[in-house]
């Protein structure tokens, strides 16, 4: 699966104190960034998520990506009867503690 770098408005390099909260269909990601500043990102209308060590070749462990043509996203959209074009599979890599995969409503570019 190809991975395309994406700007989600957060920098995940050297993050510490990573927290993930799933509330009312939204996933709240919070952590302390490399510059000791707390960061927060909300992913809306989440279909599924997982936190694990990244196992994809060719990705940096401190960047965020959109996973293009994700079979996991396609299957979850089918199972949950939602239009796939409105959703995305994002991968947020934390070089210090794993990676967050999240299937959610597509992020609006800034």
Q: What secondary structure does DSSP assign to 37-92, as a single string?
A: -EEEEEE-S--EEEEE----TT--TT-EEEETT-HHHHHHHHHHT--GGGEEEEEE
Residue 81 within a domain: yes
Instruction: State residue 44's pLDDT score.
Output: 97
pLDDT at 53: 86
With a cut of 70, which residues of the chain have pLDDT below it? Answer: 108-110
pTM of the model: 0.92
**pLDDT of amino acid 108:** 66
pLDDT in the model for residue 95: 85
Q: What is the pLDDT of residue 77?
A: 98
**Per-residue confidence (pLDDT) for residue 59, from 0 to 100:** 81
How many structural domains is the chain composed of? 1
For residue 51, is it within any domain? yes
110 in a structural domain = no
In a domain, 10, yes or no: yes
Q: Which domain holds residue 86?
A: 3-105
């Amino acid at each position: 699966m190809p991975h395309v770098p994406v700007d989600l408005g957060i920098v995940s390099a050297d993050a510490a104190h990573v927290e993930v909260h799933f509330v009312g269909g939204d996933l709240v990601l919070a952590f302390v960034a490399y510059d000791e500043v707390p960061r927060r990102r909300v992913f809306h209308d989440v279909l599924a998520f997982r936190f694990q060590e990244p196992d994809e070749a060719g990705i940096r462990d401190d960047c965020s990506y959109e996973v293009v043509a994700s079979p996991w996203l396609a299957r979850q959209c089918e199972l949950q009867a939602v239009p796939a074009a409105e959703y995305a599979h994002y991968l947020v890599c934390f070089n210090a503690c794993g990676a967050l995969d999240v299937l959610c409503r597509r992020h609006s570019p800034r």
